[in-house]
Structure 1
Amino acid sequence: MRILPRTENYETEFEELRLSIDVSTATKGRKQEDEKWFKRSEKNIYDYDLDQDNAKIVCITDGLTFFGRTIVERLLLHGYTVRVIVNTPDDLERVRAMKDETAKFHGRIEEVSAKLTETESLVDAFDGCYGVFHTSGFIDPSGVSGYSKYMVEIEAKVSENVMNACTMTQSVRRCLMTSSLLACLWQNSTQLGRRSVIDHSSWSDESLCKDKKLWYALGKLKAEKIAWKIAEDKGFKLSTICAALVTSLNILHHNPTPTIAYLKGGEEMYGNGVLATVDVNTLAKVHVKVYEEMNKASFGRYVCFDKVITGEYEAVELANETSISLERIRGDKYDFCEKDLTKPFCLSNRRLSSLMSTTYPISCLES
């Protein structure tokens, strides 16, 4: 997650950073100014000379978070060269440390300076890459849960910038965006039938998110929707991973703000049967697999989880894993066994299961 800088000298620091980094991605065959915001023609898409080496170059919008670093490591194992966006001197130092830790991959991590709030900056960063992993998000330290109402529009705007930059960069063929299961599961149960299935076709109710002040869910929802709109309008390949709460050993130490923000409304999710988690390594593997399958026209929206918290044992386990109070996860009034059929919703990741060709859990049987 990227923290919004509040210092007055940020622009100066960033400009110094831009000058200090050897950006080897000079624009190649850039479209003329008056063509940038129009749908790419078939000729424009394929007139960029990409060999097999180019196809293994990708850019990640945030490779410095706990989850982002896990994806970078997985991509390196699969033979990719990974370009990591930096926008502060501290980011640059962290990339250098990452390079030292992954020296065995022979310099296949590159840093490139860019602002996620500026489309032109992203075009320069993406140029020469075959694909983009949009993993970034923003946090606001002043928010109660680290994610305030103010962040919703910022998240959506960055998503818009990334997608527009992808469509404007001739080398980029596809984008994989990390969304959230929260963009699917906040639905009004009174308007749905009993045991409604939530899957890749489900979208959270925007009004419900606003009424409940679920800003993190609303930010992910709006960011994903604008990404799909641009992809559909411009004929660009996009896939999104709607990930459950990311877990790992000592997750709160590595990823405190997203974990806390995700669990706002946790007891209601638990009561509805949709509080789910996914291990960070599993999620990274899914990202690489989905990205690689996109060249076979297997692109779209995928729900990703590996466990649903359905009873006291799982709730206690999650509380211990995240160091968050049990009451915040399941409250006091919800306590039912795994086979309780009174829950209004159940989750399905059948589409991802089919793609991965492995047995992934489905939290209810579908007729």
Structure 2
Amino acid sequence: MAGSAKSRFSAKDYSDHMALVRAYEGWKDAEREGSAYEYCWRNFLSVQTLQAIHALRKQFTYILKDADLLDADGAINNKLSHNQPLVRAVICSGLFPGIASVVHRETSMSFKTMDDGQVFLYAVCSNSLENSVNARYQTIPYPWMVFGEKMKVNTVFIRDSTGVSDSILILFGGSLDNGPMTGNLKMLEGYIDFFMDPSLAECYLKLKDELNKLLQNKLQDPSMDMYKEGKYLMLAVQELVSGDQSEGRFVFGRESKKPRESTSHNNKFTKDGTNPKSLLQTLLMRAGHSPPKYKTKHLKTNEFRALVEFKGMQFVGKPKRNKVLAEKDAAIEALAWLTHTSENNRDEDDNTPPDVTDNMLKLLGKRRRSKRR
């Protein structure tokens, strides 16, 4: 009953914080109508807790107004409150570095933090008001979750979580650093990796820098009109965070270049009798994903062309004289794409096999675990 009542406030937006805001606003509406206690009883809410939240809200509002950071007109302060991605950005900024990655699999998902590895959403029992609204979903369409606190019982649980996109985390999370490859941005000492077009990475860096400068100027001069001084910057930020479809494309995929010479890739992935199909499957399974799927087509030239698919991506090989060779060639194309991240850093005369495991883990947002001695 209590869990069902809380889920009504979530509106399927994958945010405990937004659910709490809706519960509070509903209580204020009921209070104006003289039915506050009935509202709390019906929704399993504590009157004392809501009153404490109201008191804290008034206190924070007073502090911000005293610092000239809030306008006297509340309508001006809340004119962007309808922009849900922007609200998520504010939540992200306040809770960072409380961040967990959402690892999506074929039929399940898991959550990982930098310090604890795998963690779980807080859910003490099937019908508790303390449960996270996100614990009831089988899949969460966000690549990241920001959270308020962690609890350790037999395992580590995260409480008060909200799903955020790549763009929100990049612009409103911690400081960004350039990675060793072009288009690679790092956060939290490399725990979080983003891969994108180099020009887009530069755009994000400049935008984040300008946003930080605007906020610093506002803090130094509270009388500054941010909507006037940073009008186009703020519009650009809103467009980016609102337009991000939250598919985690900067973590799990990126634009690739076609291999220059297939013979060189054949040499890399078939050297010493290595089976490229086995290598590809090993990498995917090691990263926690399902094995790749192959589809083979018999061409009019009496040759076969194979397609391999994983993580929603497809790679097509060249025509071969039989199905086995066709599937191997498709696997080679996929492996060549996966190892593309390090090709720019490799010496042309370097014949050592590429570190495909490292690149695969980077691509799929996994951390490489060091071997314990």
Tell me if both proteins adopt one fold, taking TM over 0.5 as the criterion: no
Relative to the length of structure 2, the TM-score reads 0.29
Higher-Rg structure is 2
Relative to the length of structure 1, the TM-score reads 0.29
| Larger RCO: 1 or 2 (CA < 8 Å, sep 6+) | 1
